[in-house]
Structure 1
Amino acid sequence: MVTRQGPQAIPSEQALAESAEPREPAARASVADTARVVTRVLLPTLATGVIKRRPWVLALAQKLRAGRPAVDELRRLRRRYGMRPLRLRVPGRAIDLVLSPEEVGALLAGTPWPFSADTREKAAALGHFQPHGVLISEGHAREVRRKVNEAVLEPGREVHELAGPWARVLHDQADVLLRRTLDWDSFNEHWWIAVRQIVLGGDTAEDRELTDLLAQLRLDANWAYARPKHRKTRQRFLDLVRRQVALARPGSLAAALAAQPDNGVTDPAGQLPHWLFAFDAAGMAVFRTLALLATHPDSRAEAHAEPAGLDLTQPHQLPLLRAAVLESVRLWPTTPALLRESRTATAWGPEKTTFFIYTPFFHRDPDQLPCANTFDPALWLDGRAAANPALVPFSGGPGACPGRDLVLFTASTMLANLLQHHDFRLRDTILTPGDLPLTLDNFGLRFEVTVR
């Protein structure tokens, strides 16, 4: 078992505590600057799909290098308006664009009060498939649902107590993928077989129907309140979730969830849809990490060395591979925006102000981060990431993702199985070390696989 200190997936409590409380009211953007934010940041983000990615749009965004104008625009706005939030000119709404790392830290440290994660846009989107999810809950309901999530997902524990059988599942599915070539469709098929067994405890026809329905509902969720809910589809999905959780198949997250008490507010089964949603993003991160390791020889050598000689049918910590996964999510955040809504007036502005954190800006900002466009997994091991309140692959503060350690275990274990005895060569030269693009289409990645 590897004993090296694992990577810090979220900003440290000290980094959040040192983030200044909001002191200055928000600056006010001009109409022209608001229009630039909408066209260069908001619309491209929405087009690719916030809840479920649209492959053809992501491919086009990569071709057009769509991420660069967004980051450059926010850098320009920060030079013009300073580090305080920027109030966009949106009729009838107070929407503040966050421009400094310290403000990110203050918002995350102030969750759920006075800055709630349950914003109107998030509730409209996630309500399509998880009406009782903790991210769109407040007050007592949020408190008890958060406790259930933490009890089952075990944040802060690098190797989950149920990880033993999961390691075997990941080993078996990776073994099927080790052919001459590997593309996204093949990887995604076997990733979901593993995810269904970890989360639901099986891969039956009903388990597959459940995840297929979730994919449909997430596409609708991309439209938030702009598209009516498909109530029959959602009801069939939620019925299947409760049925599969009630099976309580041994060794699964669903079984652990079924054991949790329900006081009529908790709705334990209602927490599971978000876990499946998160594992989709985790699969994207694994595939992008594989591309990074294929194009960075030094990191690739370390990645091959870490699992050498290990029995990967058993769980391991794998800190280097976990750091590589975190770095891929820094470079290409699977959650491109964090939203918070004030529940009382603050020095920044009035009650019900929505704060918009564009995570690619803070993850790829060369003004604040020397390694902005380079692959630097050590960032997550040497304390630099933990000291930066705006490096938030799993959010931060009281609202940090409770499944972060479970995701990192699953992702790193899959990578270890792929890399232990094989090399992967990226077919298309789309990643240049030291100048990595701001958009990477994971759906278009293809590898040639050889035995080492």
Structure 2
Amino acid sequence: MQQRPSARASVLETVVLGVTALIPTLAQGAILRRPRVVRLAARFDTNRSAHRTLARLRRRHGAGPVSVAVPGRRVLLLLSPEDARHMFTATPATLTPTAREKARGLRHFEPDGVLVSAGEVRAERRAFNEAVLDWGAPAHRLFPALTPRIRAEAQALLDLHRGSGRPLDWDDFSAAFWRIIRRVVLGDAARDDHRITDLLAALRADADWLSLRRPKERTREAFLAGVRAYVDRAEPDSLAALVAGTPCTEGAEPAGQIPYWLFAYDAAAIATYCALALLASHPEHAERVHTEIDGAEPDRPATADALPLLRACVLESLRLWPTSPAVLRETTAETTWHNGTTTPAGTGVVFYSSFFHRDARHLPYADQFEPDAWLDGRNQDNWALAPFGRGPAQCPAQDLVLCTAATFLAALLRDHRALLLLPRRPLVPPAPLPRTIDHTALRFALTPK
């Protein structure tokens, strides 16, 4: 059978794609958000413009993948859930999650992480991640000990909000969530260790420039030394303690996996904050959440089957406003796609989350807040959706993150209702939800029930 190459975007289409999708995505910061650029992107709803560009490509070239030429690189842009499924389920022998662009960025702060690894070493590190993060378990083994800490940080945030008389804003919410992250990952001693996360933020800011900036060796070493120190102390009931005590192969680099957990957990803070905004602007769902919270045992640790609606709200937040705007892969062998076209090894593959997650062709509720779709099975086999990735490379911390987010939201809302102090673009139905959001602009008034 004769092989057939994928459709190619024209020069004009490539330029428009760069202006409407690539540049706005990179400018906002794929590794560390740049608040001023995020604010500007939300003002002009740049994700909506990117969506229109991809929809035009699909109308002209069909649902098969489209090849796009960028300087020094051939990139394949996926446009159908069928091809997304192939990308997510393919083995590393065909498609590797270690795309070179991703690796260049992440090496700034996680040179030994699983996502910058390949081959046998990657398999060893992935297995270690799954073991420590309890991938596939009903609930993470540490959650009974972590639940009171999460609730304590929620109470501290409520006390701050009540004492200051100010609206709840992103800075205070993020600071509280980072205290949770440090306690969960590194232990209670790290609760107020702002230096280690400041070092990580500096490295992430440089990582946004990919290979255009050289890694700051001294900053990276100081950060990694701080991480290793917490593993050496191995404070009980922390992921650092599990890292220290989990058997592994020589190539697993246990402490080297922690930087990515810290980085990825930060995205959970954004998703949780946006979920709060969705609940504050959709009172019918907020009432159901309060009923769920009131029916839960207040002292019971959250598990994978606890607070299902709150977990679904966080997943819906990630669908509406993905914290990973694009998922990257790279072909390691000649690859055949759903429409019969083929691409050679060494081709970058892009799943543009902001397009797929809001594609009305495959999601009738694309621009609506529909958390029930995560509960009634509508989203289960929809390969247009990948809030935590899909397939063998799916994030092994998904359940831990969702339990953390749901527990934190439940503690904030148990005795309070959230009123969204409207941003520039209202989130109240029946208007379609914006495709780009500035989470840093959201403000809330928390009032007693």
The TM tier, using the shorter chain, reads over 0.9
Distance 2:396 2:90 in 1: 17
Q: 1:44-55 to 2 correspondence within 5 Å? A: 44-55=24-35
Contact 1:241 1:272 in 2 (8 A): yes
Corresponding residue number in structure 2 for 1:436: 433
- Choose 121-130 or 84-93, whichever is displaced more: 84-93
Q: 1:116-155 to 2 correspondence within 5 Å? A: 116-155=96-135
- The answer to whether structure 1 residue 67 and structure 2 residue 61 are counterparts is no
Structure 2: give runs of 5+ residues left out of the alignment. 337-341
Q: What SS class does the counterpart of residue 425 from structure 1 fall into?
A: strand
1:162 to 117, 122, 142: 142
Corresponding residue number in structure 2 for 1:6: none
Corresponding residue number in structure 1 for 2:182: 196
Corresponding residue number in structure 2 for 1:4: none
Distance 1:194 1:246 in 2: 20
1:293-344, Cα deviation, whole Å (9 max, x unpaired): 0000111011111111534443122111000000000000011010110111
Distance 2:77 2:51 in 1: 13
Highest relative contact order (Cα 8 Å, sep 6+), 1 or 2? 1
Corresponding residue number in structure 1 for 2:5: 25
Aligned length, in residue pairs: 430
Q: Tell me how far 1:65 sits from its aligned partner.
A: 1.4
- Choose 150-159 or 97-106, whichever is displaced more: 150-159
Q: Tell me how far 1:204 sits from its aligned partner.
A: 4.0
1:359 to 353, 358, 366: 353
Q: In the alignment, residue 351 of structure 2 is paired with which amino acid?
A: I
1:211 to 154, 174, 197: 197
Contact 1:168 1:312 in 2 (8 A): no
Q: What SS class does the counterpart of residue 294 from structure 2 fall into?
A: coil
2:412 to 390, 394, 418: 418
Corresponding residue number in structure 1 for 2:324: 335
Distance 2:397 2:30 in 1: 19
Distance 1:449 1:381 in 2: 27
Distance 2:4 2:138 in 1: 39
- The answer to whether structure 1 residue 277 and structure 2 residue 263 are counterparts is yes
1:379-414, Cα deviation, whole Å (9 max, x unpaired): 111111111012000000001000000000000000
- The answer to whether structure 1 residue 303 and structure 2 residue 289 are counterparts is yes
Corresponding residue number in structure 2 for 1:447: 444
Distance 2:191 2:198 in 1: 10
Contact 1:109 1:397 in 2 (8 A): yes
Contact 2:183 2:191 in 1 (8 A): no
- Choose 299-308 or 201-210, whichever is displaced more: 201-210
- Choose 206-215 or 35-44, whichever is displaced more: 206-215
1:111-141, Cα deviation, whole Å (9 max, x unpaired): 4231001111011000000011111111110
1:216-252, Cα deviation, whole Å (9 max, x unpaired): 1111111110111111100111111111111110000
Contact 2:179 2:191 in 1 (8 A): no
Corresponding residue number in structure 2 for 1:350: 344
RMSD of aligned residue pairs (Cα, Å): 1.4
Q: Could you tell me the percent identity over the aligned residues?
A: 47
Contact 1:394 1:401 in 2 (8 A): yes
Q: Tell me how far 1:96 sits from its aligned partner.
A: 0.7
Distance 1:192 1:256 in 2: 20
- Choose 208-217 or 307-316, whichever is displaced more: 307-316
Q: In the alignment, residue 355 of structure 1 is paired with which amino acid?
A: V
2:238 to 243, 252, 255: 252
1:103 to 59, 63, 83: 83
Contact 1:111 1:117 in 2 (8 A): no
Distance 2:362 2:56 in 1: 14
Contact 2:66 2:77 in 1 (8 A): yes
TM-score (norm 2): 0.93
